[in-house]
Structures are given as structure tokens and as C-alpha cells.
Structure 1
């Protein structure tokens, strides 16, 4: 069973939170206090990240290349383990890709979806295969110098915070095989042709200063997913929920409360 953590009341509405590549379930900590008021929150780790040992269908040697579909199967296994026939889902970056796959292929399981700094296609595969090869050769510590500038609009300030430092430590300690397998899953992912099949109410959050997944990717998601709302968070890069936690938390709560989300910067999907 993938490493995960449960928080919130046992009778709360089931909510699964997916992390981004290179982070752990810790990346959602700023949102947990608000989300656990009415939700039973399940946070999980990607293979080789946080408390998750490399193994299982996503990265097993005899299972072939890792895929987002394989990661999504791990999520469904967690939901089944806890007896959740349906659940709300929110994911950051790769975690959002997992949610997109679930909404396309298992719509009966997802009651609502939030895609935070995510994309239907994460760019040319060659770059991801190169990163996978680099990490297998030199480990994830080789990524530490460049990562703060991708994760944060204000890297010097954020890396000086307790949470920022913890997330960078998570990256440094990630298992190279698991991280590389997730890179290969990202490389093979392309949900653009299937976005119109998503009928789940969807919130799309973009960091206005995200160099890893620029806001144009969020616009593409919003144009493809009819029942979507697009929120752009000023002053935030890739880990918008860490850098601007209040804005992301309010947008998530608005999705589930049925209110108009704040900080929309005048943008709504479909665009």
C-alpha cells in the first residue's frame, strides 16, 4: 500500500491530495487545517518520495515503464482500502496529472477535481528522460541548485522558511529510482485529446510566476474542461500553495462550498 496519511474527522467527506514531483505529502501542510474541518483528508507520497519505498506497480522492475495510469491505480487502491467509493481530489503538478487521468478514465469515482499548477501535457518528453537519466546517475541532490527558482517566485525568502527547507530536504532524500520513474511517467503523459471528456466540476489554479508550468497550461486545461474555473495566484511560482497558501486554500474551499473563488484575476474557464 502506498505511504499515506489520514487527517480530519472519520465521518468527513473523503478528500485525496496528490503531491508534485520531488515533494512529499508535506507539501499540503498549509491547507490541512482548513481542509480537515469537514473532510477526511488522505495525503499520499509518490513512489520513492517521502515515506514511500520504491516498489509496487508504478516502478516494479517487471511492470514496464512507470505511467500516470499506474500512479492513478495506486490512488484507487488507497480509496478502495478505506472504503471510499467516491472522493474529492486535488493534485499539484504530477499529482494533478493523476487527477486528470482519474477524471477521464474513472469519472464515477471523482466528485470534484482541483488541478494546482498542473497541465494536460508537461512538455517535450526528451527533457524528462534527460532528467531521469541525470538523477539515476547523480541522485536528486543534483537538482537542488536549480529547484528553488522553479518552486518559488521568491526563492531566497521561501528556502529560509521551515516548510521550504523541509521540502528541499524531501527532494534531496528522494530515491533516485522512484524519482526517475516519475519523470518517465510525466514524459509519457498527454491528456490533451481527452480533456473534453471531463465532466467533473474542476478548479484550475495557476501560479502567475510559475516557470515550470506557465499559466498558459492552465488556460489550455480551462478551455478543454467545460465545467471548470480558472484561478491565477499572483506572486506564486510552482508551489503556489506553499508560497501563497491563503489564496490556494480559499480557492479550494470555494470549489467545495459552491462560492465564487477569490483571486481570480478576471479569468474563468472555459476560456
Structure 2
């Protein structure tokens, strides 16, 4: 589960551990950003739609090298965001504004792999390390990528997951 959905994965490890043997989270944090910024983004998206967010997202999602070498992938993902549901996106922003699992990490009950991107300006390696330092049975994998590491470093991302799932 990437980004917001990684936060959801951590919550599931705390509140529904009997449903999962292992949890995979990537490019996430126990607290992503701050309340003011997320509420501001929600308001902006409601007023202006998703196009302005889609126009600036690639610089947060991908490293400069990936943007230069894979312009079609970057464009397709930006276009997909722009066509998304602004109400759904704004509601996710509102959820992120209040979501904070930092004090609950100690209650995770499933093994967790935390995949981070060393160039991620959104959810940093330090955010991933915080999860690992505070959640029992969590381990960190850092990739040479930005926020959407599963696309930017797809092979290494997949290998990290396969290794995690196949080891006891």
C-alpha cells in the first residue's frame, strides 16, 4: 500500500491483525504532512479541480532523472490524476489532515516492510525509519526513487516485496 494507503496498512496492522500475515507499506508515514497543508489542498482542489495539483505532482512523485527519461509514464499518471474525482481527493486530504498513528505504532501486530524512496520529499526515509523504530517486527528498504517508488524502481520494489513475502 503506497502513501495514504500505506497509512491505512499500518492502521490495519493495529486494528485488524488477524486478517493479515504481513503488511507491505511504501512511501508512507505514521503522520503524513500537517493538518494546515492538507486542509489547504482540500480547499484548493474543491475550488480549482485536480488539474493544478496534477501539474505539480510529478516533481513530488518522481526524481528528475525519471521525469526526463520516462515522460510518457509521468504524463499518463498526471493526466489520470487530473481526471480523478475532486471530491474523493479532497476527502482523502481531509483524512490525511487528521490521521496520526505515531503513538499507535507500538501496537502493530503483523510483520511490516516499509519501502522508502531516498529522493521522496513527501514521505521521507526518516519517516520510514520512524515507523521501523517504533513498530515491532518492521523493517526498512530504501530505494533510489521518489514518492512513487513502485513505478520508478519497479524491479527493485518487486524484489523487496518478494523477499519479504517468501521469508519466514
Normalised by the shorter chain, which TM-score bucket?
over 0.9
Q: Does 1:120 align with 2:30?
A: yes
4+ residue stretches of structure 1 with deviation over 2 A? Answer: 154-159, 163-166
Q: Number of aligned pairs?
A: 167
Going by fraction, where is strand more abundant, 1 or 2?
1
2:156 corresponds to: 247
Q: Does 1:257 align with 2:159?
A: no
Does the 8 A contact of 1:148 with 1:159 survive in 2? no
The TM-score, its normalising length taken from structure 2, stands at 0.95
Structure 2 unaligned segments of length 5 or more: list them: none
**Counterpart-to-counterpart distance in 1, 2:22 and 2:132:** 15
RMSD: 1.3
**Counterpart-to-counterpart distance in 1, 2:106 and 2:117:** 23
Residue 237 (structure 1) aligned to one of 146, 162, 165 = 146
Does the 8 A contact of 2:35 with 2:98 survive in 1? yes
2:105 corresponds to: 195
**How far 1:159 moved relative to its partner?**
5.2
Does the 8 A contact of 2:67 with 2:74 survive in 1? no
Q: Does 1:137 align with 2:47?
A: yes
Q: Highest relative contact order (Cα 8 Å, sep 6+), 1 or 2?
A: 2
Structure 1 unaligned segments of length 5 or more: list them: 1-90, 260-271
1:31 corresponds to: none
2:115 corresponds to: 205
Larger Rg: 1
**How far 1:178 moved relative to its partner?**
0.7
Residue 92 (structure 2) aligned to one of 158, 169, 182 = 182
**How far 1:144 moved relative to its partner?**
2.4
The TM-score, its normalising length taken from structure 1, stands at 0.60
2:11 corresponds to: 101
Alignment of 1:62-73 (within 5 A): none
Q: Deviations over 1:12-34 (max 9, x none)?
A: xxxxxxxxxxxxxxxxxxxxxxx
**How far 1:240 moved relative to its partner?**
0.5
Does the 8 A contact of 2:35 with 2:97 survive in 1? yes
**Counterpart-to-counterpart distance in 1, 2:42 and 2:2:** 20
Going by fraction, where is helix more abundant, 1 or 2?
2
Does the 8 A contact of 2:54 with 2:79 survive in 1? no
